[in-house]
Homo-oligomer: A and B are copies of this chain.
Amino acid sequence: MKIIQKSIETLRVLSAEIISAGKIGDTGTALSASTLLYTLFKDHYNFYGGDSYINRDRFVMAAGSASAVYYSLMNMFGFDISGSDLKNYAQFKTKTPYSPELDLTEGVDCTAGPLGQGVATSVGLAISQAFLAKKFNAQKFNIISSHTYCFVNEANLMSGESMEALSLAGTLNLNNLILLYNNTGTTNDGSLENINNEKVKRKFKAMGWKVITVYKGDNYLWDFIAIKRAKRSQKPTLIIFKTKAGQDSVLEGTYESHNKILQHKEIEKIKADYNFNGAFNISNEVKQYCMRTHRRLKVKYLQWERQVVLYKNTHPELAEQLNAFYDKPKISLNKILKSTMQETENMREFNNVILNQLSTIRPCIMGGSADNLYLTKARLNEKAFSKTNYRGRHIHFGSRNQAIGAVCNGISLYFGAPSYCSSTLLQSSNMLPSMRLSVQMNLPVLYIFTHDSVFSGNFWQSFLPVEQLAQLRAIPNFYVFRPKNNEELLACYSVIYKNESPSALVLSGENCYKETNDVKSKNIVTKETEQTEYDQAINGAYILSEDDKAEIIIFASGSEVDLAIEAKQILNKSRKKVCVVSVPSIELFEKQTDKYKNSVLKKDIKTRVAVEASNDKVWYKYIGFDGLLFNINTFGISGNSEEAKNHFNFNAKKLVSQIKAIKA
């Protein structure tokens, strides 16, 4: 036991030193959690083998600001993090940033992101694990038996997306999920008692969790037993480790330990107490001892490999399926679904057809909706994923719009494959933090939103979106698609399938302009080429209809393209020549060559117009400051789609009169 104590002390000193060197980080959490995290890494966390080892455990450092202790552990347990990486903590061009990041640091399983995102993502990881285990484990062959560990502090558990996700995990009874809660009783702003005095144990039990409390979180043996019990639990398990913030330092027990840095002499004091020498020092004895774990896990890995060989012999069919599980065949959606496209009138219904088609092609696609299937209509045609059916791929997320995206992040992270979630466009505001993380981890999560404008029916302003398109398009490296009809929708999907970039698909609801005036833009064959809309929409923007020597150019997206076409027809009558550009995706268009972009933008046309039922100002980039932005700048109103259009004077006639006013 002496060597264990020494290892833990080493970890604690190392954590304090690198926070101090980096001048940033949560000393309070790092020092208090040293024992429990050491125990996890030494005895429980099965990290050997990397990405190809599908049965490895996952670890999410949701309390990212205490990453110093995480990196120190990785260094001690033979991950690819050196002593100089540690010294470089939170510095420029570091491998060890303030908050851990997926692709930057080998061995890091997840970009934690802010507050509850890590917790919700770990629920997604656990869902995927449970699904995979159910699908591929066979008698005597538990080839998937891994766990997801998530480390949290007080702040992570207070945030809404955590609570949504934890409630979902309880409902689904994900017993492979273990939450390690470092309970110091302090937060950045003071004692926890005045900030959150709920009874955590009871709360989690009420949510269907098993709860284990370790009253001496600093005790290796108790920590060991607790995690061991958690791994055997038939429910998701919370372990509450009672610890002292900033343990063994002058800041011990204070809330300031979470945002103060220990001074050099204060660290020296700890070292003196521990009888330690040197700086950033791990004794050979400790090093050797930690590497035993590495060797143990290697043996475990080799055993698993042998088991998989036997599995292939015993269950050849399953093994074949497993082998093909992650395959991504090349497909042409246009060929597969062309006839359905023409038969399905409602875009949301056609969206569901495509989704189900894709899920047939790729068995690893999972997803679900936020308690509004009757609106979004996005549902895989199979029995839902539930605590009694881990084979299902449709998840009833419930009204959990804050967690839904982060859970999907976890699913895409685990499978390295697409996942999807659906809700109304208004609710997209709740998913912006997880979309950001989809991008940062480059996860192919597809966010499907319906009811995309103030013209979505009698919902009234609380439910009608206006600013959401602008907010989605603001996320760096995130693709937003707003197709005008089934053909463009299919084109969007073909891009989404091919690129596997995080994306939002924004569809109209019922009673939209799109659906009442759909006929108008049908059968329009564009001038220069005989390319179909499908062929062209994959460029993000394209000339839909163009007169010779056009003097007016109109950009539009989604339902408003028909309005632009209608305006063109009116303008044509008074001999104005017009070019209409359909823009299903601005981000996609921006990726095209300058030559193509210029051919569509036609900057020499003076009269420039953009039409969209949103308040996104991005259009000024294409129309210039003298351009006419025909849009919606305020919240919706009560009334049906037509009434709303009259109220806002959002119609071709008004558009034409405004265009003519520019010319005058």
Given known pairs A93-B638, A624-B624, the reply for A160 and B616 (CB within 8 Å) is: no
Q: Is A291 an interface residue (CB 8 A)?
A: no
Q: Is A94 an interface residue (CB 8 A)?
A: yes
With both chains docked as a complex, state the minimum distance between the C-beta of A221 and any C-beta of chain B, in angstroms: 29
Q: Is A184 an interface residue (CB 8 A)?
A: no
> How far, in whole Å, are A214 and B562 apart by their CA atoms in the complex?
54
Asked if B476 and A635 make an inter-chain contact with CB atoms under 8 angstroms apart, the answer reads yes
Asked if A196 and B398 make an inter-chain contact with CB atoms under 8 angstroms apart, the answer reads yes
Asked if A114 and B426 make an inter-chain contact with CB atoms under 8 angstroms apart, the answer reads yes
Asked if A638 and B98 make an inter-chain contact with CB atoms under 8 angstroms apart, the answer reads yes
The main secondary structure of chain A at its interface with chain B is loop
Q: Is A372 an interface residue (CB 8 A)?
A: yes
Q: Type the 1/0 row for A465-491, where 1 means its CB is closer than 8 Å to any CB of B.
A: 011001100111100000000000000
Binds B, one of A129-137, A161-169, A353-361: A161-169
The residue in chain B whose Cβ has the minimal distance to the Cβ of A190 is B396
Q: Type the 1/0 row for A205-248, where 1 means its CB is closer than 8 Å to any CB of B.
A: 11110000000000000000000000000000000000000000
> How far, in whole Å, are A437 and B426 apart by their CA atoms in the complex?
13
Q: Which of A162, A371, A433, A615 counts the most chain B CB atoms within 10 A?
A: A371
> How far, in whole Å, are A134 and B451 apart by their CA atoms in the complex?
46
Contact of A198 among B171, B384, B638 (CB under 8 A): B171
Q: Is A174 an interface residue (CB 8 A)?
A: no
> How far, in whole Å, are A290 and B426 apart by their CA atoms in the complex?
38
Contact of A371 among B116, B195, B635 (CB under 8 A): B195
Q: Type the 1/0 row for A606-621, where 1 means its CB is closer than 8 Å to any CB of B.
A: 0000000001111011
Given known pairs A474-B471, A621-B625, the reply for A640 and B466 (CB within 8 Å) is: no
Q: Is A23 an interface residue (CB 8 A)?
A: yes
Q: For A201, list chain B residues within 8 Å (CB).
A: 206
Asked if B386 and A115 make an inter-chain contact with CB atoms under 8 angstroms apart, the answer reads no
Asked if B617 and A621 make an inter-chain contact with CB atoms under 8 angstroms apart, the answer reads yes
Q: Which of A115, A373, A459, A475 counts the most chain B CB atoms within 10 A?
A: A115
The residue in chain B whose Cβ has the minimal distance to the Cβ of A403 is B160
Given known pairs A208-B198, A440-B461, the reply for A160 and B400 (CB within 8 Å) is: yes
Q: Is A158 an interface residue (CB 8 A)?
A: yes
With both chains docked as a complex, state the minimum distance between the C-beta of A650 and any C-beta of chain B, in angstroms: 14
Q: Is A525 an interface residue (CB 8 A)?
A: no
Asked if A396 and B189 make an inter-chain contact with CB atoms under 8 angstroms apart, the answer reads yes
Given known pairs A617-B618, A625-B620, A625-B621, the reply for A202 and B206 (CB within 8 Å) is: yes
Given known pairs A196-B171, A440-B461, the reply for A433 and B430 (CB within 8 Å) is: yes
Asked if B164 and A647 make an inter-chain contact with CB atoms under 8 angstroms apart, the answer reads no
> How far, in whole Å, are A170 and B158 apart by their CA atoms in the complex?
13
With both chains docked as a complex, state the minimum distance between the C-beta of A211 and any C-beta of chain B, in angstroms: 11
With both chains docked as a complex, state the minimum distance between the C-beta of A312 and any C-beta of chain B, in angstroms: 35
> How far, in whole Å, are A496 and B542 apart by their CA atoms in the complex?
44
Given known pairs A159-B164, A160-B161, A433-B430, the reply for A617 and B620 (CB within 8 Å) is: yes
Given known pairs A429-B433, A476-B634, A620-B620, the reply for A461 and B101 (CB within 8 Å) is: yes
Contact of A97 among B93, B207, B638 (CB under 8 A): B638
Q: Is A111 an interface residue (CB 8 A)?
A: yes
Given known pairs A159-B401, A163-B163, A433-B429, the reply for A463 and B98 (CB within 8 Å) is: yes
Asked if A386 and B171 make an inter-chain contact with CB atoms under 8 angstroms apart, the answer reads no
Asked if B24 and A91 make an inter-chain contact with CB atoms under 8 angstroms apart, the answer reads no
Asked if B160 and A90 make an inter-chain contact with CB atoms under 8 angstroms apart, the answer reads no
> How far, in whole Å, are A259 and B200 apart by their CA atoms in the complex?
36
Q: Which of A260-291 contact B (CB under 8 A)?
A: none
Asked if A115 and B399 make an inter-chain contact with CB atoms under 8 angstroms apart, the answer reads yes
> How far, in whole Å, are A207 and B157 apart by their CA atoms in the complex?
13
Q: Looking at chain A, what size class is its interface with the partner chain?
A: 35 or more
Q: Type the 1/0 row for A125-158, where 1 means its CB is closer than 8 Å to any CB of B.
A: 0000000000000000000000000000011101
The residue in chain B whose Cβ has the minimal distance to the Cβ of A67 is B460
> How far, in whole Å, are A463 and B24 apart by their CA atoms in the complex?
13
With both chains docked as a complex, state the minimum distance between the C-beta of A374 and any C-beta of chain B, in angstroms: 4
Q: Is A458 an interface residue (CB 8 A)?
A: yes
The residue in chain B whose Cβ has the minimal distance to the Cβ of A639 is B92
Contact of A160 among B160, B439, B459 (CB under 8 A): B160
Given known pairs A111-B462, A188-B373, A188-B374, the reply for A476 and B160 (CB within 8 Å) is: no
Q: Is A402 an interface residue (CB 8 A)?
A: yes
Contact of A467 among B202, B373, B474 (CB under 8 A): B474
> How far, in whole Å, are A615 and B93 apart by their CA atoms in the complex?
22
Asked if A160 and B163 make an inter-chain contact with CB atoms under 8 angstroms apart, the answer reads yes
Q: Type the 1/0 row for A94-138, where 1 means its CB is closer than 8 Å to any CB of B.
A: 100111010000000001111110000000000000000000000
Q: Is A427 an interface residue (CB 8 A)?
A: yes
Q: Is A654 an interface residue (CB 8 A)?
A: no
Asked if A98 and B460 make an inter-chain contact with CB atoms under 8 angstroms apart, the answer reads yes
Asked if B170 and A164 make an inter-chain contact with CB atoms under 8 angstroms apart, the answer reads no
Q: Is A194 an interface residue (CB 8 A)?
A: yes
Q: Is A197 an interface residue (CB 8 A)?
A: yes
Q: Is A457 an interface residue (CB 8 A)?
A: yes
With both chains docked as a complex, state the minimum distance between the C-beta of A450 and any C-beta of chain B, in angstroms: 14
> How far, in whole Å, are A163 and B400 apart by their CA atoms in the complex?
11
Q: Type the 1/0 row for A403-443, where 1 means its CB is closer than 8 Å to any CB of B.
A: 10000000000000000000000110110110011011000
What are 10 A-to-B residue pairs whose CB atoms are below 8 Å?
A91-B458, A92-B638, A187-B371, A189-B371, A467-B471, A476-B634, A477-B634, A618-B620, A620-B621, A622-B625
11 other contacts beyond A188-B373, A189-B374, with CB at 8 A cut-off?
A: A22-B458, A101-B461, A158-B167, A171-B197, A187-B371, A189-B372, A189-B398, A432-B432, A467-B474, A474-B616, A617-B621
For the complex of A and B, the 5 pairs showing the least CB-CB separation, nearest first, are: A160-B160, A92-B639, A202-B206, A203-B206, A470-B474
